[in-house]
Amino acid sequence: MNVLTIENLKKNIGRNEIIKNVNLTIDEGEILGLLGKNGAGKTTIIRMIVGLIKPTKGKIFIMGHNVEKNIETALKNVGSIVENPDLYGYMTGRENLKQIARMYKNISKERIEKIIEIIDLNSDIDKKVKKYSLGMKQRLGLGQALLSNPKLLILDEPTNGLDPIGIIEFRDIIKKISLDGTAVLISSHILSEIQNICTKVAFIDKGEIKSIDTLDKDNTSLEEKFIDIIGGGKVNVI
């Protein structure tokens, strides 16, 4: 089933067309990487998906609900970290989760405990967030995004600034989530991270999707595909 469907999406700022006729679908359990250079349009697409900005043309459907016409129902199916997660440093990790849970209906204590287990913060969940490492804060932010058991998880450059251990821990959590049927959209400019976590990749350049490929982890490297499709430029390849 299509969790996310994007049809002929365009965004103009003045006379400049910064997103050009984008079409994408993500099915249950898929992890799709939106890969492009800095400034390629990745974050603009994500901001349109979550309703922060409106498209100039085109349609976005989440679980069949049109984001523009029925945004509240559509976004009930979405968890996201679009920028840095909003965390209260003076609260504990558990208190942060409870604070977010109040925004939803029927988030049980059992669901909160399940999330703590998923993000692997059991031993640190009752510590003040101001004492957390960056990786722990990212995992807590992910936990907030997962509280409502979303069908679609959207992550914009989620591993920026993380050390190698933090990246591995975050990656493992995302893979486990997808196995339960959650569709995941990850925006990144880090080739290796897309290679290691995603099942599909959409190459974007200057607001246009150039190609959508299923990742073959055994043969052609993502770096070779990127250079072939988009060319060289400022992209992190490690």
**Separation between Cα atoms, residue 235 and residue 238, nearest integer Å:** 9
**Right CATH for 1-77+152-157+183-238 from 3.30.110.70, 3.30.70.2390, 3.40.50.300, 3.10.20.30:** 3.40.50.300
Element (H, E) at 9: strand 2-13
User: What's residue 237's pLDDT?
Assistant: 45
pLDDT digits (tens, 9 = 90+) for 151-196: 999 998 888 878 888 888 889 999 999 999 999 999 988 888 888 8
Q: Is residue 125 a contact partner of residue 92, using CB atoms and an 8 Å limit?
A: yes
What residue ranges do the domains of the chain occupy?
Answer: 1-77+152-157+183-238
CB proximity list for 222: less than 8 A, separation 6 or greater: 35, 191, 192, 194, 195, 201, 215
Determine contact, residues 120/173, Cβ cutoff 8 Å: yes
Q: Using a cut of 0.75, tell me whether the model's pTM lies above it.
A: yes
Q: Residues with Cβ < 8 Å from 95, sequence gap 6 or more?
A: 88
Residue numbers in the chain where pLDDT is lower than 50:
237-238
